[in-house]
Amino acid sequence: MNRDVLPQALVEAGIDSEIKATQDLTGGCIHQVRRIMLVDGSSVVVKFNTASKQLVFDEEMRGLRALAATNTVIVPEPLYAGVLGDVAMLLMTYILESPATDDAWRSFGMDLAALHGRDVGTRYGFDQDNHIGATQQVNTWCDDWVEFMAQHRLGFQIELATKSGLLYEHEVSRIELVVNRLDQWLPRKPRPSLLHGDLWSGNALPTLDQDGAARIAIIDPAISIGDGWADIAMMKLFGGFPASCLETYASRNDDQENLESRLMAYQLYHVLNHVNLFGRGYVSQAMGLVDRLLG
């Protein structure tokens, strides 16, 4: 990124301080991420990419604001999203990482339960499509959760993988058996909850809250409204979250019907997305979930 645009970005964000230093941060495989340390002692984070990626940053800003508005979870505050020169960027507050504690993880379980307990209406989806990783995520409103999952989650991923040749015909046929029988494992009317949507361990950062208590902040959302257990399914898929966190969440959620198969159906969405993002190395994991669901 052209360093010359950073001062202008700070102005656009309403920050009245000069840059002291910058530091590259881990930002996945899509964007570049940098910490900007300011003369006044504070820091902000900038994510940047080519101008064509600005829509993704607009989506992320909206997702962070939606999560923050629930007053349940800690997220960075988005300060500015826009294009300067040929660079698209998102500026947000910096989350200072701190050692994780068991109390922090238990608190996070309570935070998620509170997030998923907020009233967000009666439908599933969102009023804007967004992205999960680099993959488009369709959020067309639906009154039936099974229909939403079949069409806009699993069905969409199957279509992408089929068109690109990443799934073979016999694999598609087997996965479609799951899609056609989703109502065996998923409720049609679970409590609608605001979901983070991409809650793997890299998007959960141990930190301290404003009172100095150990907490967990979350970043990089792919929000929609759906079954809260879908977030838990992603958390369990690749590990990294202690049992105390998951147990605390479960103790505050009395809707646990068909829970094991329900989680697997949600995990199938994420594994199929990994097939589309990273290739056939994830197909065996997807088919393993399919085989377990179909018995």
Q: What does the pLDDT look like over 205-262, one tens digit per residue?
A: 999 998 899 999 999 999 999 999 999 999 999 999 999 999 999 999 999 999 999 9
Pick the catalytic residue: 16, 111, 183, 198? Answer: 198
Where does the pLDDT of residue 1 fall: very low under 50, low under 70, confident under 90, or very high at 90 and above?
low
On average, the pLDDT of the chain sits at 95
Q: Which residue has the tokens 């504690």?
A: 101
pLDDT digits (tens, 9 = 90+) for 9-58: 999 999 999 999 999 987 656 788 999 999 999 999 999 999 999 999 99
C-beta separation of 275 from 283 below 8 A: yes
Q: Which residue has the tokens 């570049």?
A: 32
Annotation: CATH topology of 5-93: Phosphorylase Kinase; domain 1 (3.30.200)
Q: What pLDDT is attached to residue 28? A: 59
DSSP element (H, E) containing 274: helix 259-278
Q: What pLDDT is attached to residue 113? A: 98
Q: What pLDDT is attached to residue 29? A: 66
Q: What pLDDT is attached to residue 5? A: 87
CATH placement of domain 102-294:
3.90.1200.10
What does the angle CA 67 – CA 69 – CA 75 come to, to the nearest 5 degrees? 45
Is the model's pLDDT at 82 over the cut of 90? yes
Q: What are the residue boundaries of the structural domains of the chain, listed by start?
A: 5-93, 102-294
Residue type, 134: A
d(CA 13, CA 131): 24
Q: What pLDDT is attached to residue 292? A: 98
C-beta separation of 199 from 218 below 8 A: yes
DSSP E strands, 26-167: 32-38, 43-50, 78-84, 87-93, 130-132, 135-137
C-beta separation of 256 from 143 below 8 A: no
State whether the Cα torsion 234-236-237-242 is positive or negative. Answer: positive
Is the model's pLDDT at 131 over the cut of 80? yes
- Mean pLDDT for the stretch of residues 98-119: 96
Q: How far is CA 187 from the centre of its chain?
A: 22
Task: Note if 198 is an active site residue.
Answer: yes
- Mean pLDDT for the stretch of residues 117-129: 97
DSSP element (H, E) containing 193: strand 192-195
- Mean pLDDT for the stretch of residues 167-190: 98
Q: What pLDDT is attached to residue 4? A: 76
Contacts of 138 by beta carbon, 8 Å cutoff, 6+ apart: 129, 152, 156
